[in-house]
Structure 1
Amino acid sequence: MTKPVTGVLFDVDGTLVDSVYLHAVAWWQALRQHDHDVPMARIHRAIGMGSDKILDELLGPGRDASADSEIRAAHSALYAPHWPALRPLPGARKLLDACADRGLKVVLATSASRPELDALLRCLDADASLTAVTSADDASQSKPAPDILEVALSRSGLSADEAVFVGDSVWDVHAAGKLAIPCLGLTSGGLCAAELLDHGAAGIYADPQDLLDHLDEALTTAFRMALA
């Protein structure tokens, strides 16, 4: 029998922090430095994958990958100067606080590297509401593989059948789906509602504030989807 929802896992980039387009520009510049001219729209749609997956998605898995580590390092160097300008998306802190106030375990599960995660945590300033935090450094593979979510469940003492995941990308939806965790999609990362729904999202909200305004309804929807 499925348990009631007792914990919420959150992606961070594009879900809680307004950083997706900064990542897209940094990847675009890093790729251009190595003579790869990839359209920005393709890069944007790949954001949400970790750096171990995104270059295969953008450049193809059968290429010469000898420069991959240099491209990833260039992205990190180009993105880091933006850290002081990062801002939470509307309602992000209040949403985390509201989940904690309801007695829910609140866990961040992101494909960001640990240094990037530290910058995101400073931006959110919500440590008191967090039960656990995971990053790409804690898992062998990043999203859309479910590894990071598995670590998040383990660290928080949650099982997949009592959790819901909140994310903004199709990679978030796919990762959650591999563990049968309902995923609530936010369009704050720039994807449309129809695309997230087509990939299996349990419900769609504009941003953290919209989810907060409908939190009880969203958790009920996720619970019903888990029962289906």
Structure 2
Amino acid sequence: MVVRKLPSGPHSRRAPSEDAWARAEVFIFDVEGTLVDAMMPTLRCWRETFAHFGHDVSLAELHLLAGMDGGEMLTQLLPGSPKTERKDMLAYQGKHFREEYLSHVRAFPGVRALFEELKGRQRKIALATDCDKDQLGHYLRVAGIENLVDAIGCGEDVKRGKPAPDVVEVALRRVRAGRKPAVLIGDTPFDAQAALKAAVTPLGVLTGHFSAPALLEAGCHAVWRDPAALHEALLEGAERAGEPAEASAA
């Protein structure tokens, strides 16, 4: 599944052709919810964290802000709450997630094949994620992509998470993107907002349980079902252009 309609709002960037995104030289990926199936575990962990501190917040309320910097999310959901409480909640959530959820998170199908395809086309691959390095290490292992990533920006590198562009800008610097055309693939509207602020073209996948219209409205130029569908779109684009697809490495 791919949604080709471009958004008409202020964040719309009409490309010269439908598959112009495929000619980008730098592909930046969000991780949680985009490459690994972490959305629902993260939401459940946050709901349990709120309950532990005496707050009743539904999964639906949490999902509306999924992908947002944790501190900013707490400020929006608990306006006027003490800063010390928010700090304690962030620490508790991180510890609880590592103890109860992290080991159960698995990669979405097709992630390694997608990365192999991009490397075969001589594209640069970077990650821009708000998670910490120890969590990211687990995600890289379960996706089998440790040797396919050129640069990483993660939560420990920045003070502000998405929708601030900081972690995307770190990834761009480390991958030495320069003026090369770049795209960012993410699963939430906050990924798209961060990409636009960093002057990167946003693309979306539906693996974070946001609708295609929501992602398009946030600025995504196109939306796919999942990483495997994005891989299929790359192959189809190469066929239309008369270019043989690169064979994936074993």
Q: Is the 8 A contact 1:50 1:136 kept in 2?
A: no
1:128 to 126, 129, 147: 147
Determine the structure 2 residue equivalent to 1:224.
none
Two-structure CA RMSD over aligned residues (Å):
2.0
TM-score in terms of structure 2 length: 0.81
Q: Which runs of 4+ in 1 moved over 4 A?
A: 216-219
Q: Is the 8 A contact 2:26 2:180 kept in 1?
A: no
Greater share of helix: 1
Q: How many Å separate the matches in 2 of 1:54 and 1:67?
A: 13
2:92 to 74, 92, 113: 74
2:52 equivalent to 1:33: yes
2:27 equivalent to 1:8: yes
Q: Is the 8 A contact 1:8 1:104 kept in 2?
A: yes
Determine the structure 1 residue equivalent to 2:81.
63
1:92 to 111, 122, 134: 111
Q: Is the 8 A contact 1:161 1:180 kept in 2?
A: no
Number of equivalences: 217
Determine the structure 2 residue equivalent to 1:115.
134
Q: The residue matched to 1:166 in structure 2 has which SS?
A: strand
Q: Is the 8 A contact 1:31 1:38 kept in 2?
A: yes
What runs of 5+ residues in structure 1 fail to find an aligned partner? Answer: 220-228
Residue by residue over 1:142-195, the C-alpha shift from the partner in whole angstroms, topping out at 9 and shown as x without a partner, is 100000010000000003651100000000000001122111100111000010
Determine the structure 1 residue equivalent to 2:203.
184
Determine the structure 1 residue equivalent to 2:182.
163
What runs of 5+ residues in structure 2 fail to find an aligned partner? Answer: 1-15, 239-250
Return the offset for 1:108.
Answer: 0.9
Residue by residue over 1:2-32, the C-alpha shift from the partner in whole angstroms, topping out at 9 and shown as x without a partner, is 9952110000011000011000000100011
- Letter paired with 1:185: G
Q: Which moved more, 1:47-56 or 1:166-175?
A: 47-56
Q: How many Å separate the matches in 1 of 2:91 and 2:161?
A: 17
Q: Sequence identity, in percent?
A: 31
2:130 equivalent to 1:106: no
- Letter paired with 2:155: A
